[in-house]
Structure 1
Amino acid sequence: MLRVLIPLAEGFEELEAVTLIDLLRRAAIEVVTAGMVAGPVTASRGTVLVPDTELAAVADQSFDMILLPGGLPGADHLDQDPRVRELLTRHRSMDRYTAAICAAPKVLANAGLLDGRAATWYPGALDPAAYPSVRHRSDAVVVDGKLVTSRGPGTAMDFALTLIELLVGQDRRSEVENQLQREV
Structure 2
Amino acid sequence: MSTRHPLKGRTIAALAADGFEQVELVIPLRALKRAGAKVDVVSLRHGRIRGVNLHLPASRVGVDKTISEADPGDYDGLLLPGGFINPDLLRQSAPAREFVRAFAASDKPIATLCHGPWVLASAGLLAGRTLTSWPGIRDDLVNAGATWLDQEIVRDGNLTTSRGPQDMAAFVPAMLATFTETAPEPSTTAPGGESDPQRNAPPGLAVAALRWSPKPSVTAVVGIGLVAAARQAMRGQASQS
TM-score strictly above 0.5: yes
Identify the match of residue 162 of structure 1 among 168, 174, 180: 174
TM-score (norm 2): 0.66
Match of 1:174 in 2: none
Any idea what SS the aligned residue of 1:125 has? helix
2:123 is the alignment partner of 1:123: no
Aligned residue type for 2:15: P
How many residues get paired? 169
Identity %: 30
Identify the match of residue 63 of structure 1 among 75, 83, 87: 75
The answer to whether the Cα contact below 8 Å between 1:20 and 1:157 also exists between their aligned partners in 2 is: no
Residues 146 and 5 of structure 1, relative CA distance in 2, 3 Å threshold: same
Identify the match of residue 115 of structure 2 among 103, 107, 126: 103
Q: Give runs of ≥4 in structure 1 deviating > 3 Å.
A: none
2:50 is the alignment partner of 1:37: no
Residues 131 and 47 of structure 1, relative CA distance in 2, 3 Å threshold: same
* CA RMSD, Structure 1 to Structure 2 (Å): 1.7
Match of 2:32 in 1: 24
Cα deviation, residue 65, structure 1: 0.9
Larger RCO, structures 1/2 (Cα 8 Å, 6+ apart): 1
TM-score (norm 1): 0.85
The answer to whether the Cα contact below 8 Å between 2:124 and 2:144 also exists between their aligned partners in 1 is: no
2:165 is the alignment partner of 1:153: yes
Match of 2:3 in 1: none
Residues 60 and 143 of structure 1, relative CA distance in 2, 3 Å threshold: closer
Any idea what SS the aligned residue of 2:112 has? strand
Cα deviation, residue 67, structure 1: 1.1
Unaligned runs of 5+ in 2: 1-8, 182-241
